[in-house]
């Protein structure tokens, strides 16, 4: 199988729930015990053998470009600007980030802080969705899978009391083979054509789960945290202390 040596990181959002920090800082610059989210992700991908990173920027884009520049830990850094970041969602940023790519690719939401070893977990083709079956403390996208890891359904859960035992939380990470990249590009293009620019990419994948392309990778037992609020930052710092 071809090695995955490139990644797309989505950091275009405004991070409104982290204000006032995000009034003058990109959300991905929030730090967990002194380590910014974006820096942690870049170091992880470098350690995993990546040589090309594409960052989808929007809010405070110039701050990110000037800080990270075009090289980091030996990797080439490219930037894709989502000029509609204030009126679109992650599906549109991902469509921009994957445009023109034709090789295995990692996808990461830029508000996730994670231990680097997660990238070493074996992942099946074509589209591997990294989830955590032990997570019951964060709202968001939850995926149900069969015993073989085939993804069956997706729900956006806001009331955690409604969680079912077989649902696992998305950790905001995908690993796509070349065919998976092509499939994702097609799904996103279809979504844009039907006016779905302002939805999570999770919902785009969820609409196609019955086609059999999506499998899950359970990271239960590994450390990660999705940062949306100042309370999330405090919890992440305790987790990674």
Question: How far apart, in Å, are the Cα atoms of 209 and each of 41, 62, 127, 165, 229?
Answer: 27, 37, 10, 19, 30
- Token look-up 């083709």 returns 125
- Bridge partners of residue 151, in order along the sequence: 145
Q: Is it the case that residue 21 has pLDDT exceeding 70? A: yes
The helices-and-strands tally (H runs, E runs) of the chain is: 7, 14
CA angle 111–116–119, rounded 5-degree value = 95
User: 186-239 pLDDT, tens per residue?
Assistant: 999 999 999 999 999 999 999 999 898 999 999 998 999 999 999 999 999 999
- Report the CATH architecture of 6-239: Alpha-Beta Complex (3.90)
E-strand stretches of 11-150: 31-32, 35-36, 52-57, 71-72, 75-81, 105-109, 112-114, 127-132, 140-145
Longest CA span, the chain: 46
Domain boundaries, the chain: 6-239
SS3 25: coil
DSSP assignment letter at 199 = S
Cβ(44)–Cβ(223) under 8 Å?
no
CB neighbour burial string for 29-58, b if at least 16 within 10 angstroms, e if fewer: bbbbeeebbbbbbbebbbebebebbbbbbb
- Mean pLDDT across 120-132: 95
Half-sphere exposure of 107 (CA within 13 A, CB side): 28
CA angle 234–118–3, rounded 5-degree value = 140
Give dist(CA 214, CA 124) in Å, integer.
9
SS3 168: strand
Cβ(97)–Cβ(57) under 8 Å?
no
CB within 8 A of 206, min separation 6: which ones?
153, 154
User: 161-186 pLDDT, tens per residue?
Assistant: 888 888 999 999 999 999 999 999 99
Task: Kindly report which listed range (1-5, 9-13, 224-228) carries the lowest average pLDDT score.
Answer: 1-5
What local confidence, expressed as pLDDT, does residue 130 receive? 98
Give dist(CA 16, CA 112) in Å, integer.
16
Give dist(CA 161, CA 2) in Å, integer.
41
Give dist(CA 106, CA 67) in Å, integer.
22
What local confidence, expressed as pLDDT, does residue 1 receive? 60
Q: What is the pTM of this model?
A: 0.96
């Amino acid at each position: 199988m071809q090695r995955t040596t490139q990644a797309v990181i989505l950091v275009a959002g405004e991070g409104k729930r982290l204000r006032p920090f995000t009034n003058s800082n990109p959300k991905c610059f929030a730090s967990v015990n002194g380590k910014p989210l974006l820096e942690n992700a870049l170091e992880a991908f470098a350690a995993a053998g990546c040589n090309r990173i594409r960052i989808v920027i929007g809010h405070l884009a110039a701050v990110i470009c000037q800080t990270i520049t075009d090289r980091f830990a030996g990797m080439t850094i490219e930037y894709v600007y989502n000029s509609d970041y204030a009126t679109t969602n992650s599906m549109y940023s991902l469509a921009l980030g994957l445009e023109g790519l034709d090789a295995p690719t990692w996808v990461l939401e830029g508000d996730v802080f994670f231990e680097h070893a997660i990238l070493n977990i074996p992942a099946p083709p074509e589209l591997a969705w990294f989830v955590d079956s032990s997570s019951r403390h964060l709202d968001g996208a939850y995926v149900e899978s069969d015993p073989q890891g085939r993804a069956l359904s997706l729900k956006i859960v806001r009331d955690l009391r409604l969680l079912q035992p077989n649902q696992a939380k998305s950790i905001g990470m995908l690993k796509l083979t070349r065919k998976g990249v092509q499939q994702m590009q097609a799904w996103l293009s279809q979504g844009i054509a039907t006016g779905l620019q302002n939805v999570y990419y999770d919902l785009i994948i969820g609409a196609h789960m019955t086609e059999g392309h999506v499998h899950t990778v359970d990271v239960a037992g590994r450390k990660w945290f999705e940062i949306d609020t100042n309370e999330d930052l405090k919890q992440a710092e305790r987790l990674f202390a």
